[in-house]
Chain A
Amino acid sequence: MADSSTLKLAAFPLCLCMPLLAPFGLWLDTPWLAPILVFGLCPVLGLLIGQDRALPVVGLHRHPLLLAYLDFLPRIYALVWIAILTWAAGYASRMNLSGPALAALTVSVGLGSATAICTAHELMHRRSQFDVLLARLMTALCLYGHMVIEHFHHHANFGDIAAGATAPRGMSIYHFASADFLHGLRNAWTVESARMRRCRVGWWHNRMIQDYALALVLALAFFASFGSAGLILFIGQAAFAIFCFEVITYVHHYGLVREDAEEAGAQHAWAHHCWITNCLTFNNTFQSDHHLRPTTPYYELHSMHGAPRLPASYFTMFCVALVPPFWRFLMDHRLDALADARRDRNRELPDWLRAERCG
């Protein structure tokens, strides 16, 4: 199953389940259904289905209709997610939800929002101005107005502790998430200010100001339309989505530090090519390849030789990261094994530490 490229292509729309789980859970009278399925069922399905060994689309017959379908999917996700977010705010406003019920709805919608940041990430790397603007709208809806600028900075500097976005060994997610968000904010401002000085344009050309202004307008619009419950849900889902994004960044690069003058490579991002995770996140597990070819569309990404392997899928490791001692117990000996392999440059990574290959 995990070998079939056709099945993989057909399964990409599964990502639409992420935002749809929130209303589905309410319909089943199970408000916590979304987190239960994502962090409970998905890891089990990941184990049952196994690693993603499907060849990327680049190796298949690229019919224009197929490419149109794959290119449109992130845009469709954006539409569905925005619709669900708006509906959820309206629902929270109408139903006068209790605290726990509002929290459940916020987390459920927030899971869709976390995937929306992942989708915006796919769109922001495209050359189409429309897609980039859509990505900026999506990040503004997640109150993450500096993400588009900061992410390119991350691409240039991943593996460099001082530049942020790579957690040094021993740092917990709780320390990393806040530090990285603030660091990213400063980085993005510095990068954007330099660009504006260079191009001699006015402050209104600052994309950070634009995107945070849009975020503020959106927050006010939610408040005006759906009252305080709508605003709480709006801010809550954004905070949850940003935290999820920080956790995934933490998982991607924990401890993988580049030495001085070392070229960025596959060895600087953790991988676990879980089939179901890839279907739900636009091939987000192929981080190593994405870092080396940032503008390559998600359906052309594949596994890279030399990428170190996580012990379990992203969804599992997400939960593990929330318990720092357990995280360090699982990850630090992997870092030791990597350091050993790096000292002896001719030595291949042991099988247990080597990510699966496609095909």
Chain B
Amino acid sequence: MGSRSPRTIGSFDDANDRISWISGYETEADVDAAARQIVEYFGLRSFVFSALFRSGEREHYRYLVGCEPDWCFLYNQNKWYAIDPFIDYALNNTSPILASEIPLTSPGQERLMAEAAEHGFRSGIVIPAHSRSAIRLGILYLGTSVEPDRARESFNKHRSLMRAFALELLEWWDVKLRESGLDELDLDALDVDLLTKAQEHATAGEAARELGITLSRVKARYERITRKLGVENKRGAVEKAVALGLIKSA
């Protein structure tokens, strides 16, 4: 799907439509343009969507940024993602919440919030978005720098749409990463099917019978998959494929 013509969002239905289109957008620019309009409809000014992916011991972040570029630079430079109270909250909760209601537990977090207020997040809303898998999490921050009560008003009015917005953004990242993971690793749909069978603990013979390919081809494919994923065995391949988002977790 290509980019749709930018049109101001004037009603709940418009906003609902625009949110439902997100998963069909191909480029980050399309999603960014739509997200800015949706946030504007909420009566807010800034947003950051962080998608957190865990692969074994490592964590990866992907961002969609609709705020002052300085803030992103500062956030990354200070490695604030390591102490971000909103991430802590989102890891353990599913309910959207006003940022002001999340307790700050360290001087570092207080410093973080003071800087955030200077860069468009004087008050805000945190919306966690959880996937079926525990290794993939989205956090949508919506902020305003004008009136502290503005966030509460917007939150009360648009809470359900905000939640849908966060989930659609997570879905978009999920699909995008899955596709790019496949492309980068040169794996195809049959490889994904085989990984799914391995995840179900199917033997090579069972995978062959259920997918309609010969046993020797299944074995050759598994060898190729483990080589490309840089792991030693099928189990490792499944774990890595889940972490990369190539297959869903069981």
Interface residues of A (CB under 8 A from B): 125, 127, 149, 151-157, 191, 194-195, 198-199, 261, 263-264, 294-295
- Shortest C-beta distance, A156 to chain B (Å), equals 4
* Chain A proximity mask over B100-128: 1 for CB below 8 Å, otherwise 0: 00000000000000000000000000000
- B213 near A155 with CB under 8 A, answer yes
Name the CB-closest residue of B to A199.
B200
Q: Which of B189, B209, B210, B213 has the most chain A CB atoms closer than 10 A to its own CB? A: B209
In the complex, what residues of A have CB within 8 A of residue B217's CB? 264
In the complex, what residues of A have CB within 8 A of residue B215's CB? 156
- A195 near B210 with CB under 8 A, answer yes
- B200 near A155 with CB under 8 A, answer no
CA distance A151 to B213 in the complex (A): 11
Let me know if B216 is at the binding interface, CB within 8 A. yes
In the complex, what residues of B have CB within 8 A of residue A153's CB? 209-210, 212
From DSSP, what is the main secondary structure of chain B's interface residues?
Answer: helix
- Shortest C-beta distance, B115 to chain A (Å), equals 48
In the complex, what residues of B have CB within 8 A of residue A263's CB? 214, 216
- Shortest C-beta distance, A359 to chain B (Å), equals 26
- A295 near B214 with CB under 8 A, answer no
- B209 near A191 with CB under 8 A, answer yes
Let me know if B202 is at the binding interface, CB within 8 A. yes
* Chain A proximity mask over B192-224: 1 for CB below 8 Å, otherwise 0: 000000001110001011111111110000000
CA distance A155 to B209 in the complex (A): 7
Which of B190, B206, B216 is A195 in contact with, Cβ under 8 Å? B206
- B212 near A151 with CB under 8 A, answer yes
- B206 near A152 with CB under 8 A, answer no
CA distance A177 to B217 in the complex (A): 29
Name the CB-closest residue of B to A195.
B210
Which of A157, A261, A264, A295 is B209 in contact with, Cβ under 8 Å? A157
- B189 near A127 with CB under 8 A, answer yes
CA distance A157 to B216 in the complex (A): 11
Interface residues of B (CB under 8 A from A): 189-190, 200-202, 206, 208-217
CA distance A263 to B208 in the complex (A): 14
In the complex, what residues of B have CB within 8 A of residue A127's CB? 189
CA distance A46 to B67 in the complex (A): 69
Known: A263-B214, A264-B214, A294-B213. A156 touches B200 (CB 8 A): no
* 7 A-B residue pairings within 8 Å (CB atoms): A127-B189, A153-B209, A154-B212, A155-B213, A157-B209, A198-B206, A263-B214
Which of B200, B206, B212, B216 is A294 in contact with, Cβ under 8 Å? B212
- Shortest C-beta distance, A260 to chain B (Å), equals 12
Which of B190, B208, B210, B216 is A295 in contact with, Cβ under 8 Å? B190
Which of B189, B201, B212, B216 is A198 in contact with, Cβ under 8 Å? B201
- A198 near B209 with CB under 8 A, answer no
Name the CB-closest residue of A to B214.
A264
In the complex, what residues of B have CB within 8 A of residue A198's CB? 200-202, 206
CA distance A273 to B202 in the complex (A): 37
A151-B212, A294-B213 known; 7 new pairs, CB 8 Å cut-off, are A152-B211, A155-B212, A156-B212, A157-B209, A191-B209, A195-B202, A261-B216
CA distance A134 to B201 in the complex (A): 29
In the complex, what residues of B have CB within 8 A of residue A264's CB? 214, 216-217
In the complex, what residues of A have CB within 8 A of residue B208's CB? 156
In the complex, what residues of A have CB within 8 A of residue B213's CB? 155-156, 294
CA distance A191 to B202 in the complex (A): 11
In the complex, what residues of B have CB within 8 A of residue A194's CB? 206
- Shortest C-beta distance, A122 to chain B (Å), equals 13
- Shortest C-beta distance, B144 to chain A (Å), equals 43
- Shortest C-beta distance, B170 to chain A (Å), equals 23
In the complex, what residues of A have CB within 8 A of residue B201's CB? 198
Name the CB-closest residue of A to B220.
A263
In the complex, what residues of B have CB within 8 A of residue A149's CB? 210
CA distance A294 to B190 in the complex (A): 11
CA distance A115 to B12 in the complex (A): 50
- Shortest C-beta distance, B97 to chain A (Å), equals 37
Name the CB-closest residue of B to A124.
B212
In the complex, what residues of B have CB within 8 A of residue A157's CB? 209, 214
- A191 near B214 with CB under 8 A, answer no
CA distance A24 to B201 in the complex (A): 53
In the complex, what residues of A have CB within 8 A of residue B216's CB? 261, 263-264
Report, nearest first, the 10 A-B pairs whose CB atoms are least far apart: A155-B212, A152-B212, A156-B208, A153-B209, A156-B209, A264-B214, A191-B209, A294-B212, A198-B200, A199-B200
